[in-house]
Amino acid sequence: MTLFQVDKAKWIQCVLFCLLSVLAYWLIGYRFIRTQSGELILSFGVLFLIYGLIISQKWDKLWVRRWLWIALGFRLLFLLAVPVLSDDYFRFIWDGRLLAAGYNPYLYLPSALIGSSIAVDAQLDTVLFEGMNSPHYFTVYPPLNQMMFGVAAWIAGGNTLITVILLRSFIVLAEAGIFWMMMHPAKSVNSVINKKKGSQFALIYALNPLIIVELTGNLHFEAVTLFFVLLAVRWLNTPFQGDKYYIASAVALGLGVVVKLLPLLFLPLFIKRLGIKKGLIYSAITGSVLLVLFLPFLSLELLLNFGKSLDLYFQKFEFNASFYYLLRELGYWVTGYNLIQVLGPLLSLITFTFLIWIAFQRRSFLEKMLFSLTVYFLLATTIHPWYITTLVAFGAWTGRWYPVVWSALLPLTYVAYSSIPYHENLRVVGLEYILVLGCLCYEVFLKGLDWEAS
């Protein structure tokens, strides 16, 4: 077969895959609702089949770039879609309108505001209130996230669709930045995978259907956090403009923390990497970024409210958990009631212990980040589908397959929403974690999977 024929065959394949993917993404973004679990799972199944066929083939650098542009196009398909698979955006808009009107979103319970003069001033209507999943809890979104909510609300006024489009723009820009870093990685970052796969590993993240739907489609800001975390790692390995003190890297990590608190998990890894003295300075800079951005909102009431909501998250919320569900059932058997108030803090302590242990392992820095996240998610009481998107990125960069397997199984969790109120099918959850843990154990303890395309 000539080179022209090969390229022609790839173009035909590309067009066919794109047409089927566009149809599936359009149905998910604009036609289906969360209770249509069968249709959603079928659409995700088609998308993951196409995804698997793409990433299992060899693509030269030019084709990788083409696929990245296509991946960006898939994200832009959702630009005008109001999320229907997640209701978190109601809280984003609520907080944003409060901030745009000059009110501190950390100080007010939505249930206490609705119908008040503040609600009228900030254009907080009953549609937003009734759409929220936690109107009786104080907000837990960090300040940089709040600022994005506020900017979008300030520009859009009371227009919900424009607010959603503006919020989605932050996510798409972050995703574009992630693509660029994956195409131009620091030479010292995971050189083994770069030699084996070149830039093709970027497609494992960029074309993953769960990432496209849950981040851009459902409006979750893990993408922005991931951008800053990868930037921190990049500047740790290749200091920004000759920065020998890793200040730029620490600032980037701090910016990731003030979008989502998750990057705080990585601080033990940075301290171990840099040594105690430099590591503590690095942590202090990261903490300073957090403090500076919290300052405009800071008060004793904020600390109490924020801490109360975080405490509720670890001691009340539960969804799609793994080891926690097993311990919960054991607790029911022994005591007759749910021990989440004990198990939540206990699992957090076990997670922290594992993070310290991982920091001292002889593995690459990115692998340590991957396994730190893995331990955190496996011991968490709540795992929504979009949580795992960061894991897919680190899995792609380190050549681990189990995060992709996990991402392909997570759409099954939409079965829980086929009834109102939602009800989890523990058989589905059990199947999910048996397969994920099986793949994880195979990769880590046995032979492992070969990421080289055949």
This prediction's pTM: 0.93
Please tell me whether residue 319 adopts helix, strand or coil conformation.
Answer: strand
Identify the CA nearest to 297 among candidates 115, 89, 413, 145.
145
Consecutive sets of 10 residues in the chain, 454 residues long: mean pLDDT of each? 65 93 96 93 96 91 93 97 93 97 94 92 93 90 96 94 97 96 73 56 95 97 97 88 86 96 95 93 96 92 83 77 91 83 88 93 90 95 94 92 96 88 88 95 70 38
Whole-angstrom Cα distance, residue 84 to residue 154?
A: 23
Paired tokens of 390: 């960061």
Phi, psi of 238 (to 5 degrees): -130, 85
Q: Bridge partners of 319?
A: 382
Contact 189, 231 (CB under 8 A): no
DSSP string, 254-265: HHHHTT-SGGGG
**What pLDDT score does 450 carry?**
45
**What pLDDT score does 115 carry?**
85
**What pLDDT score does 124 carry?**
94
